[in-house]
Amino acid sequence: MALTVVDHPLAQHLLTQLRDVQTPPPVFRTIAKRLTIAVMLEAVRGLPAVEVDVQTPLERTTGRLIFPDIVAVPILRAGLGMLEAVAELFPEVSVGYIGLERDDVTLLPTSYYEKLPPVEGRHVLLLDPMLATGGSAAGACAKIEERHPAEIRFICVVAAPQGVDKLRREHPHVSIFTAALDRDLNDRGYILPGLGDFGDRLFGTGSDSGLPRSRPR
């Protein structure tokens, strides 16, 4: 399984703003979209492309277009913060959704929604900004793999070593693209140094301190 860390200066510039606890949700959303585009620059490398003739205002030449048979699958909720970027880059993309919520105590994901277009033989871009324990990503990969895609590319913003190891063990054919490979997880399964709870920061549902809030029971 290939792991690509996109350490381009522009990606790191954007990631630093996302990490900053002072970044409010409206800015967080904009930066998350821009950073997704930066990670996508690497994540689409090697996707099938076709050579086409193109007429410029001056002469004919040839160019390359990425084969458009791509399925984007955001893992709800936080993956929604990456979808708009992908849909703008590939307006003809098919979109499926997988809803997973991680339990605060067991850290295991529970599935609450699934709507996937046909994925057999297609290239799946699985979108979730945070790869922490890897339970959510592995669960989503299992749901997609049983439908026989050509491949799955997992695109995230921050990954922890534990999540990378789990995907590597359980889904060795999935390639991972991330803007950062962080140090560790804390005892609540949050990535260190990380950026906190991505979904809360994206949708303005966190505490004012920017720290992850325990879900009400």
Q: Which residues are catalytic?
A: 102, 106, 197, 200
Measured CA to CA, the distance from residue 22 to residue 20 in angstroms comes to 5
Cross-strand partners of 75: 98
Q: Which residues contact 43 (CB under 8 A, 6 or more apart)?
A: 4, 125, 153, 155, 177
Note whether 154 binds ligand URA by CB under 6 A.
no
Note whether 194 binds ligand URA by CB under 6 A.
yes
Note whether 178 binds ligand PRP by CB under 6 A.
no
Shortest CB 114 distance to ligand PRP, Å: 14
Paired tokens of 30: 């904009």
Nearer to ligand URA, 90 or 190 (CB): 190
Cis preceding-peptide flag for 77 (omega within 30 of 0): yes
Q: Which residues contact 45 (CB under 8 A, 6 or more apart)?
A: none
Shortest CB 64 distance to ligand PRP, Å: 33
Measured CA to CA, the distance from residue 79 to residue 127 in angstroms comes to 5
Note whether 42 binds ligand URA by CB under 6 A.
no
User: Under rule CB under 6 A, which residues in 96-135 are in contact with ligand PRP?
Assistant: 100-102, 107, 109, 128-135
Nearer to ligand URA, 122 or 197 (CB): 197
* DSSP-based three-state secondary structure for 41: helix
Pick the binder of ligand URA from 132, 152, 164, 167 (CB under 6 A): 132
> First and final CA of the chain: distance in angstroms?
38
Q: Which residues contact 87 (CB under 8 A, 6 or more apart)?
A: 72, 93, 95
Note whether 199 binds ligand URA by CB under 6 A.
yes
From ligand URA, ligand PRP, none, which one binds at residue 81 (CB under 5 to 8 Å depending on kind)? none
Nearer to ligand PRP, 149 or 194 (CB): 194
Note whether 206 binds ligand PRP by CB under 6 A.
no
Nearer to ligand URA, 123 or 200 (CB): 200
Nearer to ligand URA, 61 or 110 (CB): 110
- Residue from 196, 194, 193, 191 nearest 207 by CA: 196
Which residues make up the interface to ligand URA (CB under 6 A)?
78, 130, 132, 189-191, 194, 197-199
Which residues make up the interface to ligand PRP (CB under 6 A)?
75, 77-78, 100-102, 107, 109, 128-137, 163, 189, 198-199
